[in-house]
């Protein structure tokens, strides 16, 4: 029975992704973000459970990526679709995205919002590569899809909770959103080694970078709220680059 526990947890990620998709389609982006975060929690916990129970399997690997395609691929694509639709209104009004509840009345002035699904395509491609790559154990090649999902989902949360007109104007600029979409697709599939938050032991010496990253992330969150998430992703990429450079220098 215990060999099925990690897969059951992964299926909870699938469920959260499905619920988040419904909310995102209805332009309820706060609720969508909540279920994406919950899905990412299950995504982390299924791997943790597999290691604890020592029940890793090829099925679990495939199922995990399929779940991530929904939670960390499809949902961010829909959210970007909605943000681009908001940007098209021209008034910067939060909540003016397209609500896809009635296909018969669904109209859109241009095809621009569909550009957001570049994120979904890039996420699916990245996950397919991950399943074939046996080297991504202690590190990742390219930005993991859950981290990318948090980056995209942070944008509407900043709009809702930071109460900053300048930030709102920037985020609801279609060129900014298109740039973020392309940057997201690049980071997901670039040949950049990023450290993984996997602790083989709890000593500071062997995990200094991980501990520093977690402490700095907590500081960012406490001081900047949702605006912290893009800075955390940036810090994650930059600290990985510095770590890679340091290791190459020692070799």
- Each residue of 130-162: pLDDT tens digit? 888 776 666 889 999 999 999 999 999 999 998
Q: Which string of b and e fits 102-125 if b means at least 16 CB within 10 Å?
A: eeeeeeeeeebbebbbbbbebbbe
- pLDDT at 245 (0 to 100): 78
Task: Domain count for the chain, please give it.
Answer: 2
Quote the domain boundaries for residue 209.
195-251
Q: Which among 194, 219, 240 is the end of a domain?
A: 194
Residue 146 belongs to a domain: yes
Q: Is residue 120 part of a domain?
A: yes
203 and 172 inside one domain: no
**Of 194, 211, 236, which closes a domain?**
194
**Backbone dihedral angles phi then psi of residue 34, each to the nearest 5 degrees:** -60, -45
**Does one domain contain both 114 and 146?**
yes
Please give the model's pTM, rounded to 2 decimal places: 0.88
Give the integer Cα–Cα distance in Å for 140 and 143.
7
Q: What CATH code is carried by the domain that includes residue 79?
A: 1.20.120.1760
Instruction: Please report, for residues 95, 101, 113, 228, the alpha-carbon distance to residue 39 in angstroms, rounded to integers and kept in the order given.
Output: 24, 24, 25, 20
Whether residue 62 is found in the same domain as residue 169: yes
pLDDT in tens, the chain (251 residues): 777 888 999 999 999 999 999 999 999 999 999 999 999 999 988 877 877 887 778 888 899 999 999 999 999 999 999 999 999 876 444 544 544 444 444 556 678 999 999 999 999 999 999 888 776 666 889 999 999 999 999 999 999 998 888 999 999 999 999 999 999 999 999 999 999 887 767 788 778 888 999 999 999 999 999 999 999 999 999 999 988 876 555 55
**Predicted local confidence at residue 101, as pLDDT:** 44
Q: What is the pLDDT of residue 14?
A: 97
């Amino acid at each position: 029975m215990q060999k099925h526990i990690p897969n059951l947890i992964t299926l909870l990620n699938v469920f959260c992704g499905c619920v988040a998709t419904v909310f995102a389609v209805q332009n309820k982006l706060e609720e969508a973000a909540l279920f994406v975060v919950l899905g990412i929690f299950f995504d982390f916990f299924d791997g943790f459970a597999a290691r604890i129970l020592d029940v890793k399997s090829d099925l679990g690997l495939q199922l995990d990526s399929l779940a991530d395609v929904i939670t960390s691929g499809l949902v961010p694509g829909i959210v970007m679709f909605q943000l681009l639709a908001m940007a098209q209104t021209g008034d910067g009004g939060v909540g003016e995205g397209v609500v896809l509840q009635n296909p018969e009345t669904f109209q859109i002035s241009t095809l621009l919002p569909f550009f957001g699904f570049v994120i979904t395509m890039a996420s699916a491609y990245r996950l397919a590569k991950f399943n074939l790559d046996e080297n991504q154990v202690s590190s990742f090649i390219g930005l993991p899809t859950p981290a990318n999902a948090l980056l995209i989902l942070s944008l509407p949360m900043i709009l809702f909770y930071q109460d900053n007109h300048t930030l709102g104007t920037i985020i609801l600029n279609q060129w900014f959103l298109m740039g973020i979409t392309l940057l997201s697709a690049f980071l997901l599939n670039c040949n950049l080694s990023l450290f993984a938050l996997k602790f083989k032991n709890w000593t500071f010496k062997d995990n200094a970078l991980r501990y520093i990253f977690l402490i700095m992330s907590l500081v960012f969150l406490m001081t900047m709220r949702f605006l912290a998430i893009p800075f955390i992703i940036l810090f994650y990429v930059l600290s990985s680059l510095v770590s890679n450079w340091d290791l190459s220098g020692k070799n």
